[in-house]
Structure 1
Amino acid sequence: MAEFHATVHQNEFLATGATDVHAIVSITCTGAGQAGRSAGGDAGEIIVIDTSGSMEAAGVRAAQEAAAAALDQIHDGVWFAVIAGNHEARLAYPDGYTAAMVQMSAATRAQAKRSLTRLYADGGTAMGTWLLAAAQLFGTVPSLTQKHVILLTDGENQHETPEQLTAAIEGVRGRFQADCRGLGAAWQVDEVRRIAEALLGTVDLIPRREDMAAEFARIMRVSMARGVADASLRVWAPQGAEVLFVRQVAPRLEDLTTRRTTVNPLTGAYPTGAWSDETREYHVAVRLPAKAVGAEQLAARVQLAAGGEIVTQGLVKARWSADDSLTARISPEVAHYTGQTELAKAIQEGLAAKSIGDDVTATTRLGRAVQLAAETGDDDATNRLSRVVDIDDAGTGRVRLKNRIDKLDEMALDTASTKTTRVGR
């Protein structure tokens, strides 16, 4: 049975007149079990393969191998299907007519692999249509409580308007989770990131066709290890307080603030999706009315709810003091993740500026990213940045844009911008 434990990291002391309380709430799950093997309901998996013309025969063959590798990781009894996506969404398995899912077994796994050999490259790209088809398929199995999609594309969403894609994303939000992968350098990171973020998933680059199978297998293994089908973070704040934001800050950045649903007048719930044995960390910021020196107050109660029950909680506190030695302290955890959040923003803004030819802004923002990566000890980010800029002085953020930049290096930096490093404790 899954067990959860919460730890709060903060400086609870506020200076006279101060109002804002920041805390990092670390939540660890152990004993999560396996997807679809708890009493909470069944699990479903859908693999969506881009079979548009740009994939070409070699790309489709690599996608077939990747999908087969993912199928090998799905547990027997889990419901599944495979969608071939171009400007339409075709059910590649179980077949193109029944529009239903089947349960994994040795026989259906072998049948699904045979069906993959019939796929071919043709047509355009309409990712919103693929998402809506996946939602429709999941709807054919009422017992599903855990629903997950792997979505692969190699190009832009050219056969739908931006408004159509947005409508599709909003139409499936909250209905399943999706891990999205882009193959090669012709797809748009921002476009695919929008899908992944809305569906509580990840976005990443697969540089080469031969890398797909290992990545698909890894994603599916992670999904199969999520034995807690769904959970939500609940944040209570006292009367008169304002929750400024709620963000997941590890293992990746995810702003949950706008996803709040009301539990009661003082409590909001924020979706977290399914859990495996893992630790996630959340930055919670609350604004309180200022109180007199010596006053104490509970600023927030942060709980995790799974299966409708509270499984752990952490308390965020506030104490007003006139002692500068207490109020001037900055929680290392809060400082670290504040820097990591700014780092992601600086990278994305720098790359956006570069894409429109604003080299001055690009250099400034990417220089700030280099500085923040050094300050937070994020060596991986520093290495990725060094492929896009020449670093003269990491400490001051003095950099120069490289004359020639490999598009894949730029995309790798962009997709990895929301991955964070844990603070050393």
Structure 2
Amino acid sequence: MAYSAEAFQNEFLPLGGTEVSAIVTVTSTGSATGRRTSGATEVIIVDASGSMQAEGRMAAARQAAKAAVACLDDGVHFAIIAGVSTAQQLFPAPGQLAVSSPQSRADAIRSIDRLQASGGTAMGAWLKLAAQLFAQRPGDIAHAILLTDGDNGEHAGYLEKVLESIGGNFQCDCRGVGTNWKVAELRKIAGAMLGTVDIVARPTDLTAAFEQMITNAMGKTSADVQLKVWTPVNTTIRYVKQVEPSVVDLSGKRVEDGPRAGRYPLGAWGDESRDYHVSVQVNPGAAGDEMLAARVSVVEGDDVHAQCLIRAVWTDDSGLSTRINRQVAHYTGQEELADAIQAGLEARKAGDEHTATIKLGRAAQLAHESGNDATTELLSTVVDIDDAVTGTVRLRRRVEAADEMALDTRSTKTVRVGRASS
């Protein structure tokens, strides 16, 4: 794998200016041969609680899990967990991992027919068992799918405690089927585990969703890529966020790495490109002063694959200091867009129509300005957009729960500068 890193910023600060912002684009190439730098382990977690019997969800989940197993590459280690009030390993034998082959995949597919809906929902226990299985293969590209249709039934704080103990050990993509699950709950899991969250409103769409997640996972060739950020004395990192393909705040995941440096986990990589917003706090300088505000490196272990620099130059020329870098402006707007949607939906649920209208109107305006057509389309299911330019909207009186949840789960998906979403 080959990596590149490029920083986009306006390095000029006004006199007294202390905040430096840059968008760092990281691109990786060379995985097309399919050769992984380490092994791969996949765990499929299927909610088998009693509620999954409704609307054909259990039958659809069985079909989706079979399709996911069929997509596994030969040599990948894998397991299937049936999620009820406890975590029950469906395949292979408890505590073991299977090695993907035509025979083991056929055996796993037969075992999935035993999945029956009964019992409760215990996501913390499911994730804890997955973590124990992944621990058998340290250094592997570790990926899990978690499917559920309801609320977590464990006692308050247990899920959070599990996430705190296993966060970063593997990536977990979460999908909610139907409309009786909580977006915030799955977003919490996905955020801690560097994964994604989305709604599958119709059980018949589960197979395609599972196939896509497994196919994406099989395309990863590097297990643990990190962003290492070094700053000089009297300089601190305000935050580091992934801003494309979705908004994920990585600030709380920082691990210190020597004097004035920290690492931020980026998860597994294949051939792809992602954007990160790095914000640095510096001491103000005089006109003409220049400094290196941060050095950003793409690393795996002790290997440095790429580097770029974030600079600060103070000037009394307002024409230079007030010029906003296009990438920084775009992603600042995308971050605000996600916050506006989530705040607007919360206000709507609380019956605060005034705040909901203002927030969702601002969201419509930001989506229009950035060319985020997918988000504009999702917004139009919750509000009538009278004028996207000014953000003039009217709340819809009747909104389908699935449409509202789709807007919520996909609020953090972003588009690149000048690129319409697909």
TM-score (norm 2): 0.96
**Are 1:148 and 2:143 an aligned pair?**
yes
Q: What is aligned with 2:363?
A: 369
Tell me the amino acid that sits aligned with residue 147 of structure 2.
Answer: L
In structure 1, how many angstroms separate the alpha carbons of the residues matched to 2:69 and 2:185?
Answer: 27
Q: How does 1:1-400 map to 2 (within 5 A)?
A: 2-32=1-31, 37-38=35-36, 40-56=37-53, 58-95=56-93, 98-139=94-135, 141-157=136-152, 159-400=153-394
In structure 2, how many angstroms separate the alpha carbons of the residues matched to 1:392 and 1:103?
Answer: 56
Tell me the amino acid that sits aligned with residue 52 of structure 1.
Answer: S
TM-score (norm 1): 0.96
Tell me the amino acid that sits aligned with residue 340 of structure 2.
Answer: A
Q: Secondary structure at the match of 2:73?
A: coil
Distance 1:143 1:81, change over 3 A: same
User: For the Cα contact (< 8 Å) 1:241–1:287, is it kept in 2?
Assistant: yes
In structure 2, how many angstroms separate the alpha carbons of the residues matched to 1:306 and 1:243?
Answer: 21
Tell me the amino acid that sits aligned with residue 57 of structure 2.
Answer: G
Tell me the CA shift for residue 194 of structure 1.
0.2
In structure 2, how many angstroms separate the alpha carbons of the residues matched to 1:319 and 1:127?
Answer: 49
In structure 1, how many angstroms separate the alpha carbons of the residues matched to 2:27 and 2:138?
Answer: 27
User: For the Cα contact (< 8 Å) 1:44–1:144, is it kept in 2?
Assistant: no
User: For the Cα contact (< 8 Å) 1:147–1:176, is it kept in 2?
Assistant: yes
In structure 1, how many angstroms separate the alpha carbons of the residues matched to 2:57 and 2:48?
Answer: 8
What are the Cα deviations for residues 346-389 of structure 1, in whole angstroms up to 9, with x where unaligned? 00011111122222221111111111111212111111111101
Distance 1:274 1:188, change over 3 A: same
Tell me the CA shift for residue 391 of structure 1.
1.4
In structure 2, how many angstroms separate the alpha carbons of the residues matched to 1:144 and 1:301?
Answer: 27
Tell me the amino acid that sits aligned with residue 291 of structure 2.
Answer: Q
Distance 1:313 1:49, change over 3 A: same
Q: Secondary structure at the match of 1:240?
A: coil
User: For the Cα contact (< 8 Å) 2:370–2:418, is it kept in 1?
Assistant: no
Deviates more, 1:163-172 or 1:243-252: 163-172
In structure 2, how many angstroms separate the alpha carbons of the residues matched to 1:399 and 1:262?
Answer: 45
In structure 1, how many angstroms separate the alpha carbons of the residues matched to 2:174 and 2:263?
Answer: 25
Report the aligned-residue RMSD: 1.4
User: For the Cα contact (< 8 Å) 1:184–1:208, is it kept in 2?
Assistant: yes
In structure 2, how many angstroms separate the alpha carbons of the residues matched to 1:133 and 1:228?
Answer: 24
Tell me the CA shift for residue 161 of structure 1.
2.1
Deviates more, 1:414-423 or 1:353-362: 353-362
User: For the Cα contact (< 8 Å) 1:33–1:227, is it kept in 2?
Assistant: no
Q: Secondary structure at the match of 2:157?
A: helix
Q: Secondary structure at the match of 1:119?
A: coil
Tell me the amino acid that sits aligned with residue 376 of structure 2.
Answer: T
Tell me the CA shift for residue 32 of structure 1.
2.8
Q: How does 1:405-424 map to 2 (within 5 A)?
A: 405-424=399-418
Tell me the CA shift for residue 265 of structure 1.
2.0
List structure 1 runs of 4+ shifted beyond 4 angstroms.
none
User: For the Cα contact (< 8 Å) 1:44–1:80, is it kept in 2?
Assistant: yes
Tell me the amino acid that sits aligned with residue 118 of structure 2.
Answer: D
User: For the Cα contact (< 8 Å) 1:4–1:29, is it kept in 2?
Assistant: yes
In structure 2, how many angstroms separate the alpha carbons of the residues matched to 1:129 and 1:327?
Answer: 52
In structure 1, how many angstroms separate the alpha carbons of the residues matched to 2:33 and 2:268?
Answer: 11
Tell me the CA shift for residue 424 of structure 1.
2.2
User: For the Cα contact (< 8 Å) 2:68–2:214, is it kept in 1?
Assistant: yes
In structure 2, how many angstroms separate the alpha carbons of the residues matched to 1:91 and 1:327?
Answer: 59
Deviates more, 1:127-136 or 1:141-150: 141-150
Tell me the amino acid that sits aligned with residue 42 of structure 2.
Answer: E
Tell me the CA shift for residue 267 of structure 1.
0.7
In structure 2, how many angstroms separate the alpha carbons of the residues matched to 1:68 and 1:104?
Answer: 13
Tell me the CA shift for residue 33 of structure 1.
5.2
Tell me the CA shift for residue 143 of structure 1.
4.6
Deviates more, 1:165-174 or 1:100-109: 165-174
What are the Cα deviations for residues 302-333 of structure 1, in whole angstroms up to 9, with x where unaligned? 11102431100111111111222211211000
Tell me the CA shift for residue 75 of structure 1.
0.8
